[in-house]
């Protein structure tokens, strides 16, 4: 198809745009070139230090070589550190899960770095071929490793279930190939592909069979090594972790066996439904269907006591009470406030302490302590060094069924033979027996405007009944309680 010739006027406009954009383009190009030069100089100057750091890592898993591909991958991420900053921030929440599951299965802890290159530690990550989750399972292979996928649940997005599925695959691959570096390569190329490369090369580890593997897999183990290096030693390169909220870092799993909606969880805990969804992306309809095998529900540590109490008290009851602590008006805009929901503490190191020993004392994963303090688990602590950590302020909601017993009785009347209107009297019911009045707002409105509709109602009483602090406008759809006279 022929294109319309560009008119003279259009050429003038285009050239004018290029003239004004030229300084910006030249500045960006110069900045990128300068950064490339600085990173290349750093990698060449510090090559011996990088090699030394790699040698500090667990060599029983694989040989951490510093070849050209590893060097180029580390250099690339130093040029664009934002992804590493996000990866390290997410690791605070997910590494404790991986570490616990790998330890329970007897597998090397360093395998926890695989999801860094598979999904960048994003549980909702979706590849172009349909693999999804932290460990990137395909829909047709997930059931083979114990992961359920149906209209309600996709366990590829469940951090606990997907980790167990990945452990089964890696354990099978190691038993088949008898080498961890090859088992890691098999996570990308498949066990059969790695086995064929072994037969062709006669090699028994990744470095000896590398040239016979598919092109993508040749760089897979180097990417794994680069991920370990950048996650362990990010601080020495001046990378600042991009942390999620503490509600998404300090989390705990609750196993639920009965049907439960995210809305009910929000009522019990005071969390927003958006936070619950981010922590539990595997539930497709915002609902736990109540399968007999149970479901993992991940929540901030500070609210799990309230949820467990609710489940133990009334989750199986047909007569479920209204939850008095449900902050309905707070839910849409709620976000955790570190100064309110969490406390920060410091532990002073002694001359005998390591990061691992302090983690054991505090019962906090060493990987979390390391990232909170911009340290590597391999770093040596000095006496008196302050190690920062956080504790949640636990929501201890105690559910009670409130039943109002009234001592009021209808008065007995001496009934004459014939009643007259003067004998008939009205005895009002006591206020405590009346039903509460609720008002649903069809448009945004200030509390003062609502109070103005009820002449008997005082502003302080209305604010107290709805747990409001001031006359801030309420959004449409809010439900407010109108106290009775």
Tens of pLDDT, residues 419-466? 454 544 544 444 444 456 777 777 888 888 888 877 778 888 889 888
**Residue 2 located in a structural domain:** no
Least Cα distance to 237 among 354, 112, 85 occurs for: 85
What is the DSSP pairing of strand 437-440 with strand 251-256?
A: unpaired
pLDDT of residue 1: 44
Q: Are residues 222 and 251 in the same domain?
A: no
Tell me, yes or no, whether 87 and 228 share the same domain: yes
Task: Judge if 230 and 150 occupy the same domain.
Answer: yes
Give domain status of residue 9, yes or no.
no
The Cα–Cα gap between 232 and 378 comes to 8
> How many Å apart are CA 262 and CA 266, to the nearest integer?
6
Inside any domain, residue 401 = no
| CB-based contact 245:270 (threshold 8 Å) | no
pTM above the 0.95 mark?
A: no
- Rounded distance between C-alpha atoms, residue 462 and residue 452, angstroms: 11
154 forms bridges with which residues in the sheet? 149
With a cut of 70, list the residues of the chain below it in pLDDT.
1-45, 315-339, 395-436, 485
Could you tell me if 443 and 477 lie in one domain? yes
The domain spanning residue 352 has which CATH number? Answer: 3.10.350.10
Question: Does 173 map to a domain?
Answer: yes
How many residues appear in the chain? Answer: 485
Residue 26 lies in a domain: no
Residues 273 and 359 both lie in one domain: no
- Residue 101: strand, helix, or coil: helix
Among 391, 396, 393, smallest CA distance to 362 is for: 391
pLDDT, tens digit, for every residue of 390-407?
Answer: 998 876 554 444 444 445
- Last residue in a domain, options 197, 212, 237: 237
> Is residue 122 a part of any domain in this protein?
yes
pLDDT confidence of residue 44? 63
Is residue 16 included in any domain, yes or no?
no
Cβ contacts of residue 36 below 8 Å, gap of 6+? 79
DSSP-H helix ranges across 254-303: 262-269, 273-279
- Asked if residue 1 is part of any domain, the answer here is no
pLDDT at 41: 58
Task: Note whether 121 and 205 are same-domain residues.
Answer: yes
Q: Alpha helices, DSSP H only, in 314-428?
A: 338-341, 355-362, 366-372
- Based on the fold, state whether residues 102 and 190 are members of the same structural domain: yes
Q: Which residues pair with 348 in a beta bridge?
A: 386
Give 89-120 pLDDT, tens digit per residue: 999 999 999 999 999 999 999 999 999 999 99
Residues 223 and 264 grouped into a single domain: no
What is the rounded distance in angstroms from the CA atom of residue 464 to the CA atom of residue 9? Answer: 67
* CATH code: domain of residue 232: 1.10.530.10
- If asked whether residues 68 and 193 sit together in one domain, one would say yes
63 and 174: one domain? yes
Q: Helix (H, G, I), strand (E, B), or coil: what is residue 7? A: coil
pLDDT given at position 15: 35
pLDDT of residue 398: 42
Q: Find the domain containing 466 and state its range.
A: 435-482
Query: Which among 313, 328, 352 is the end of a domain?
Result: 313
pLDDT of 206 reads 96
Residues 260 and 155 reside in one and the same domain: no
Tally of structural domains, the chain? 4
pLDDT of residue 183: 97
The reply to whether 52 and 182 lie within a common domain is yes
Give, for 117, the enclosing helix (H) or strand (E).
Answer: helix 114-119
At which of 190, 215, 237 does a domain end? Answer: 237
What pLDDT sits at residue 436?
61
């Amino acid at each position: 198809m022929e294109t319309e010739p560009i008119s003279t006027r259009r050429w003038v406009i285009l050239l004018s745009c290029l003239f004004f954009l030229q300084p910006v383009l030249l500045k960006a190009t110069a900045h990128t070139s300068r950064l490339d030069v600085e990173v290349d100089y750093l990698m060449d100057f510090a090559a011996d230090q990088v090699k030394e750091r790699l040698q500090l890592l667990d060599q029983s898993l694989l040989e951490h070589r510093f070849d050209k591909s590893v060097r180029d991958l580390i250099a690339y991420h130093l040029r664009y550190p934002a992804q590493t900053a996000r990866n390290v921030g997410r690791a605070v929440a997910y590494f404790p899960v991986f570490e616990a599951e790998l330890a329970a299965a007897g597998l090397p802890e360093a395998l926890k770095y695989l999801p860094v290159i598979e999904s960048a530690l994003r549980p909702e990550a979706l590849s172009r071929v349909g693999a999804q989750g932290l460990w990137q399972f395909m829909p047709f292979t997930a059931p083979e490793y114990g992961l359920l996928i149906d209209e309600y649940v996709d366990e590829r997005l469940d951090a606990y279930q997907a980790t167990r599925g990945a452990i089964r695959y890696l354990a099978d691959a190691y038993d088949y190939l008898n080498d961890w570096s090859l088992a890691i390569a098999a996570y990308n190329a498949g066990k059969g592909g790695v086995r064929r490369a072994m037969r062709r090369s006669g090699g028994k580890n990744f470095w000896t069979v590398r040239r016979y593997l598919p092109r993508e897999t040749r760089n897979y183990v180097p990417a794994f090594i680069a991920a370990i290096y950048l996650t362990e030693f990010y601080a020495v390169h001046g990378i600042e972790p991009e942390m999620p909220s503490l509600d998404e870092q300090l989390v705990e799993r609750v196993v639920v066996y009965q049907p439960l909606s995210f809305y009910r969880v929000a009522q019990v805990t005071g969390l927003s439904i958006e936070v619950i969804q981010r922590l539990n992306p595997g539930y497709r309809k915002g609902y736990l269907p109540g399968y007999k095998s149970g479901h993992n529900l991940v929540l901030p540590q500070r609210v799990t006591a309230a949820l467990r109490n609710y489940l133990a008290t009334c989750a199986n009851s047909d007569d479920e009470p209204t939850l008095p602590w449900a902050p309905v008006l707070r839910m849409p805009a709620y976000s955790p406030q570190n100064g309110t929901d969490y406390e920060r503490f410091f532990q002073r190191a002694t001359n005998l302490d390591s990061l691992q020993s302090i983690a054991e004392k505090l019962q906090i994963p060493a990987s979390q302590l390391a990232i909170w303090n911009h340290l590597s688990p391999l770093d040596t602590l000095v006496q008196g060094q302050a190690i920062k950590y956080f504790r949640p302020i636990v929501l201890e909601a105690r559910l009670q069924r409130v039943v109002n017993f009234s001592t009021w009785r209808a008065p007995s009347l001496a009934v004459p033979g014939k009643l007259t209107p003067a004998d008939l009297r009205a005895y009002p019911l006591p206020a405590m027996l009346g039903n509460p009045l609720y008002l649903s707002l069809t448009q945004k409105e200030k509390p003062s405007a609502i109070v103005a509709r009820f002449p008997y109602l005082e502003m302080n009483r209305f604010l107290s009944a709805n747990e409001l602090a001031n006359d801030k406008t309420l959004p449409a759809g809010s439900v407010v309680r109108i106290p009775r006279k």
